[in-house]
C-alpha cells in the first residue's frame, strides 16, 4: 500500500487532511455558549498502552449537540492493523471484521466525523496520540481541535481550577469510579463505542455541574 511510506521525511497532505485543517482554521469565539457547541465524545480500543508500538483496534464516537447526546450520530470504526498482510490476526487472536477499514479510510472517516467539533474523551491525551499516529501518514501532525479531558474536567469541577496532586487521588478519577459517582450504569464497558457513550453521559452531567459553577461559554470551558 502506497501510503505506508517510511522513506519520506516530508509527507504530502492528503486531500481529506487539507479539508479537515481548513475547517479548523477559524477558531471558536470564546463567548459562544455551551449550548451552541458541538462535541465529539470518542474512545479508542488499542492493542496496548504504548503509543509507539500499539495501534487502534476500534474507534467509537458520539456527538453532543444542543446539550443532548444524538444517538443517530453514534459511530463505530474498525481500522486494519498497520502491518496487515502479515499474520497479525492470528497473533492477536482477532476475528477479522467484515467492515474492517484500511488505515486511509479510517483516517478519512474519523477526521471528517471530527470536523471542527470540540473533542472529548477520558484520558484524551492517549486517544489523541493514537489518532494522530494513525493520521500521520496522510500529513496530519496534530489534531487542531479544542479538547476536553473528562478526567481533568471532573477534577477541576470537584476540586477547583488550581487543584494539585496532593488534593486528590487520581484513582478516584478513572471512568469506572466517575460513572459510579455520577450514577451512570456501566454497560458495554471496554468496547470503544460503549466507553464513548458512558463518557458522553458523564460529560453531560459534568456540563450541568459546570453551569452551576458559572461556566457558561466556550472560553470558560476550555480555559
Partner 1 sequence: MSNVIVHRVAEFLKRFPPFSFLSKEVLEKVAASVQVRYLEKGDILFRQGQPAEPHFYILKEGAIVLTESLQNHEEIRDQCDEGDVFGVLALLGKRPYVLSAKVDENSLVYAIPVAIFEEILEHNSRVALYFAAGFASGQVVIRQDLSEGQKARGAFKNESRDHSLMIFSDKSEIKFSEKVLTCSPEQSIQQAAALMAEKQVSSIVVCREDLKPLGIITDKDLRSKVVAKGIPLETPSSEIMSAPVLTMRKDASFSDLYLTMIKNRLHHLILTEDGTDQSQVCGILSDHDVLLSMGNSPAVLIHGLMNTLDLKEMRLIRDQAEQMLGYYLENELTMDFVASVMTEVNDIIIKQALRIAENSLSDEDPALKKIPFCFLSLGSEGREEQLLRTDQDNALVYEDVPEALAEQAHAYFLKLGTAMVEVLLACGFASCPGDIMASNPKWVQPMSKWKGYFSEWIIRPTEEAILSATIFFDFRPIAGNLGLGETLSLHIYEEIQKKKIFLNFLAKNALMNPPPLGFFKGFVVEKSGEHENEFDIKSRAMMPLADLARLLVLSHGVIGVNNTFKRFDRLAELEPNYEALFKQAAKAYEILMRTRALEGLGNESSGRFIKPESLGKLERQLLKNTFSPITELQSIVKVRFQLDYFQQ
Regarding 100 and contact with partner 1 (CB under 8 A), the answer is: no
CB of 64 to partner 1, least distance (A): 9
Coil, helix or strand for 68? Answer: strand
CB of 188 to partner 1, least distance (A): 5
The radius of gyration of the chain from alpha carbons, rounded to an integer in Å, stands at 18
Regarding 95 and contact with partner 1 (CB under 8 A), the answer is: no
150-159 and 192-212 are packed helices; what angle lies between their axes, rounded to 10 degrees? 30
Position among 62, 130, 134, 143 found at the interface with partner 1 (CB under 8 A): 62
- Residue corresponding to grid cell 469510579: 177
CB of 74 to partner 1, least distance (A): 3
- Which CB, 144 or 194, lies closer to partner 1? 194
Position among 126, 194, 216, 222 found at the interface with partner 1 (CB under 8 A): 194
Closest CA to 199 of 144, 164, 153: 153
Regarding 98 and contact with partner 1 (CB under 8 A), the answer is: no
Regarding 191 and contact with partner 1 (CB under 8 A), the answer is: yes
Angle CA 213–197–189, to nearest 5: 115
CB of 78 to partner 1, least distance (A): 11
Burial 10-28 (b: 16+ CB within 10 A, else e): eeeebebbeebbebbeeeb
- Which CB, 32 or 190, lies closer to partner 1? 190
- Contact of 18 with 107, CB cutoff 8 Å: no
Which residues make up the interface to partner 1 (CB under 8 A)? 60-62, 66-72, 74-76, 183, 187-188, 191, 193-194, 196-197, 200-201, 204-205, 207-208, 212
Amino acid at each position: 500500500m502506497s501510503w505506508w511510506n517510511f522513506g519520506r521525511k516530508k509527507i504530502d497532505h492528503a486531500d481529506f487532511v487539507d479539508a479537515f485543517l481548513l475547517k479548523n482554521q477559524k477558531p471558536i469565539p470564546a463567548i459562544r455558549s455551551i449550548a451552541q457547541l458541538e462535541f465529539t465524545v470518542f474512545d479508542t480500543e488499542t492493542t496496548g498502552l504504548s503509543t509507539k508500538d500499539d495501534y487502534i483496534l476500534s474507534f467509537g464516537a458520539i456527538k453532543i449537540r444542543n446539550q443532548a447526546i444524538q444517538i443517530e450520530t453514534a459511530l463505530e470504526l474498525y481500522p486494519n492493523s498497520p502491518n496487515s498482510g502479515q499474520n497479525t490476526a492470528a497473533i492477536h487472536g482477532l476475528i477479522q471484521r467484515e467492515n474492517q477499514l484500511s488505515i486511509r479510510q479510517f483516517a478519512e472517516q474519523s477526521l471528517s466525523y471530527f470536523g471542527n467539533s470540540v473533542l472529548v474523551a477520558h484520558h484524551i491525551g492517549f486517544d489523541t496520540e493514537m489518532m494522530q499516529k494513525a493520521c500521520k501518514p496522510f500529513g496530519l501532525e496534530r489534531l487542531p481541535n479544542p479538547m476536553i479531558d473528562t478526567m481533568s474536567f471532573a477534577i477541576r469541577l470537584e476540586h477547583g481550577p488550581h487543584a494539585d496532586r496532593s488534593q486528590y487521588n487520581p484513582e478516584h478519577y478513572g471512568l469506572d469510579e466517575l460513572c459510579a459517582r455520577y450514577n451512570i450504569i456501566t454497560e458495554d464497558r471496554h468496547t470503544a463505542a460503549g466507553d464513548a457513550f458512558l463518557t458522553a453521559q458523564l460529560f453531560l452531567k459534568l456540563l450541568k455541574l459546570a453551569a452551576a459553577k458559572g461556566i457558561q461559554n466556550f472560553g470558560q470551558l476550555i480555559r
